[in-house]
Structure 1
């Protein structure tokens, strides 16, 4: 269908453009360098023959592939993000192509002794004999989610070149700042004009997801009092000790390193402090809405208890919801999941239907009126130096996009 060389060339041209987003920025996109790839994608969409290609002042990209059938077909969409995570550098990405992977250790960087090993990353064993694209060990790769963009554009190009494949109207959308939780914030659902869409933002081949965490962020500020330590008895209050009390009062086994599947967690991801003030930053996650609300209440109750214990407002906790489980919005339109599942089966892929232990643009978009399950893009070990993607998985994802379009037209 799509040539391996074509996919590799396109993907490499994307990942070598630095598009790291910045959670501390108030602009959209959060970094100026995201425009470099955004403008490139606009030119490419026009070059392959897409219609109504647009980019707005916040770098949201949209384009249309018109229907090639004479009957009414629902308008479907495919969405990916072009920013990369600030968790690890995306500057000077140097992709390595591993042909016919032999199942052994891959030396990413000999000088620094950085090795991608199947003994630790067991998923590698699935891809023996395939072509892998890896990092050189000094950056992330950017398959999250430039693989998704590559697959969407490649699928649109294929459908344009093969009009014998019948399809209805298709919309594509590319967003900035997904990695910092803002990818859908300024997405114009009405302008996009799709009845439903799919984010191409999952991991291994076969993943099909329509459940995700409910998510909130919590900032816990602990107040202390600084006094000369030689004369501190009965006067000094060390905020770091009180912060430790708060940390140790939360369920220790309900953290990311001890949970899986549908189990939720509290995750302390940042701490800054001195005697006078300590700030804890948490994320709160749970698939079950009731359990999610209970987790927030646990933090609120603990705050109140410590304030009562110390006799004044020693802790202030601010909790903000971030996104919710898309399941509530997908269940009434489960046929859109059925179409994706059928498309995978028709392209020789065993669907892996599971809940996302995270979130995607699709979760927010579903609550904005655009039901949006998530489909695999093929990559592994996102957000770090050990990220890789099998080229064959990217080709299969491209085939799935085309097949979804075809099945939707047939079923209409």
Structure 2
């Protein structure tokens, strides 16, 4: 069994699901279970400064073994948490060895079928080893594939002294899935010049452009009274919230109706009672002007609905989440070019593209660490149909190692 597969199978069995409703940091303490395990494994590799800080971040340094001076310090980053959308508890990973090209029926829920017709990247995987969950949980390849790949690459860089490289930093973050993955990262302590998140999809791909993202919280304060004596008095916050949701565009501006560079308004959570309801939205677009347009539309919908409820009140709070990292990466073309070269050396045809989402690299780039996203091999993330190819994970390890060499050679 390869090092990356062995690590991956171990990591996915640790429940690290994050919680968007939590106010603690990290949002769930169980994320530390995997982070502590990673620290131990890094220390066993001889990486003496590996440690978990009080906020749940893992930091580690692989010292340079090159005589060259002024080699940029490169960081490889992945997140330990898994999506709140599907349970990550009691994951049972299954390795489908030498996959034959047939649809994959997951054994614990036969209605969960990974269909070749719906997963076009599977067509390139015949004969490879495919890892899935058993059908009742997500797998956790997002982003434990990336974690395992960085760990396997670290093992190679530490043990094979023929591979020359500069200082390599490792960063494992919590809470990426709830948009808080870089909230408390210490970039001074990290002391890296450039970075790469290992959190992408198909082998050979790299993202240098992401959505820009905001969150919007709408709070409705209705008028509550006994329903038996409510005539002329009750203004039910639940019904008001329903009207707001019903007024959203039906054929556009939603995740289910958009693609490419189109943005959207998406209600992600709602909760409350007749007196008070809170609706959490995510707003996405590839440019900031598009975000503001969508927020203005949502505010107009809110105002139009609230006009019918004169005794109720509302709050509309916008929170910046991350911005399109293309703005930063365009100023540092060598970060992309070196990654492309590393992929070519691995026998891949590099594909640079946009991602309809975000990574820790989005915020890290604006915090001063230019940080594109390279493939980890994960597919169908945030679902029970999640899968990853062992061979793709092994290729990601190779690319990480090559990247360390390319930066050394070109310095």
What is the aligned partner in structure 2 of residue 43 from structure 1?
Answer: 40
User: In structure 2, how many angstroms separate the alpha carbons of the residues matched to 1:275 and 1:64?
Assistant: 53
- TM-superposed CA distance for 1:332, in Å, is 0.9
Conserved? CA contact 1:90–1:140, under 8 Å: yes
Conserved? CA contact 1:134–1:141, under 8 Å: yes
What is the aligned partner in structure 1 of residue 199 from structure 2?
Answer: 201
Conserved? CA contact 1:212–1:359, under 8 Å: yes
What is the aligned partner in structure 1 of residue 373 from structure 2?
Answer: 374
User: In structure 2, how many angstroms separate the alpha carbons of the residues matched to 1:366 and 1:209?
Assistant: 13
| Closer, same or farther: CA 355–31 of 1 in aligned 2, 3 Å | same
Conserved? CA contact 2:328–2:365, under 8 Å: yes
User: In structure 2, how many angstroms separate the alpha carbons of the residues matched to 1:248 and 1:36?
Assistant: 42
Secondary structure of the residue that 1:210 maps to in structure 2?
strand
Conserved? CA contact 2:62–2:167, under 8 Å: yes
- TM-superposed CA distance for 1:217, in Å, is 1.3
When the two structures are aligned, how many residues end up with a matched partner?
A: 409
Residue 55 of structure 1: which of 29, 52, 56 is its match?
52
Conserved? CA contact 1:219–1:279, under 8 Å: yes
TM normalised by structure 2 equals: 0.93
Secondary structure of the residue that 1:20 maps to in structure 2?
coil
Secondary structure of the residue that 1:283 maps to in structure 2?
strand
What is the aligned partner in structure 1 of residue 282 from structure 2?
Answer: 283
- TM-superposed CA distance for 1:189, in Å, is 0.5
Where structure 2 has 5 or more consecutive residues not aligned to the other structure, the ranges are none
What is the aligned partner in structure 1 of residue 99 from structure 2?
Answer: 101
Query: 1:7 aligned to 2:42?
Result: no
Conserved? CA contact 1:208–1:354, under 8 Å: yes
| Closer, same or farther: CA 37–111 of 1 in aligned 2, 3 Å | closer
- TM-superposed CA distance for 1:228, in Å, is 5.7
User: In structure 2, how many angstroms separate the alpha carbons of the residues matched to 1:234 and 1:112?
Assistant: 52
- TM-superposed CA distance for 1:6, in Å, is 2.5
1:27-71 Cα offsets, whole Å, 9 max, x none, are 322222222211111111111222422221222111111112111
Conserved? CA contact 1:51–1:66, under 8 Å: no
What is the aligned partner in structure 2 of residue 259 from structure 1?
Answer: 258
What is the aligned partner in structure 2 of residue 27 from structure 1?
Answer: 24
- TM-superposed CA distance for 1:281, in Å, is 1.9
Secondary structure of the residue that 1:375 maps to in structure 2?
strand
What is the aligned partner in structure 2 of residue 132 from structure 1?
Answer: 130
- TM-superposed CA distance for 1:157, in Å, is 1.1
User: In structure 1, how many angstroms separate the alpha carbons of the residues matched to 2:303 and 2:108?
Assistant: 53
What is the aligned partner in structure 2 of residue 152 from structure 1?
Answer: 150
What is the aligned partner in structure 2 of residue 315 from structure 1?
Answer: 314
Query: 1:178 aligned to 2:176?
Result: yes
1:286-311 Cα offsets, whole Å, 9 max, x none, are 11111112112222233334444544
Conserved? CA contact 2:223–2:235, under 8 Å: yes
| Greater displacement, 90-99 / 22-31 | 22-31
User: In structure 2, how many angstroms separate the alpha carbons of the residues matched to 1:232 and 1:34?
Assistant: 47
Conserved? CA contact 1:223–1:278, under 8 Å: yes
Where structure 1 has 5 or more consecutive residues not aligned to the other structure, the ranges are none
